[in-house]
Amino acid sequence: MIQFAKSIKFNHFIWIAILLSIPAFLLNLGLQSFIEDESIRALVTLEMKYSGNLITPTLNGSYYYYKPPLYNWILLGFYNLFGVANEWTTRIPTVFFTFLTSWFIYKINRYYLDKKTSIYIAFA
């Protein structure tokens, strides 16, 4: 385990790590163009928005049944929340769910392990 100096408390270390992870995840989030499946998910979501059909996803007018529409609904919520559909708003749900997954990992491991070990596992 990491040995901390007496002046630095473990809780301060955790809050500093959390605060530093936020800009690390958000910096340059919208600079790279879409890769692989991101563009398809964004196009399907925009078609759902403009057609008004939130149940049956389409891509270029043909039915798109390869993936369920839940993630498209989440993307649509973020598009409506921020008022724009771009790379940043398409990728921000992934960052949100990464933080949420880390929190769930901490909570589950906290039930079985001590606090420090659970935090280490969640940060890993």
pLDDT score of 69: 87
pLDDT score of 8: 67
pLDDT tens by residue, 24-42: 888 877 777 778 888 888 8
What sections of the chain are H helices per DSSP?
Answer: 10-26, 38-51, 70-82, 87-112, 115-123
pLDDT score of 24: 84
Which segments of the chain have a pLDDT < 70?
A: 1-8
Q: Which residues contact 82 (CB under 8 A, 6 or more apart)?
A: 89, 92
pLDDT score of 123: 86
Record the pTM: 0.75
Half-sphere exposure for 51 (CA within 13 Å, toward CB): 17
The number of angstroms, rounded, from the C-alpha of 108 to the middle of its chain's C-alpha atoms is 19
pLDDT score of 2: 59
pLDDT score of 104: 95
Assess contact for 74 and 93: CB atoms under 8 A.
yes
pLDDT score of 4: 54
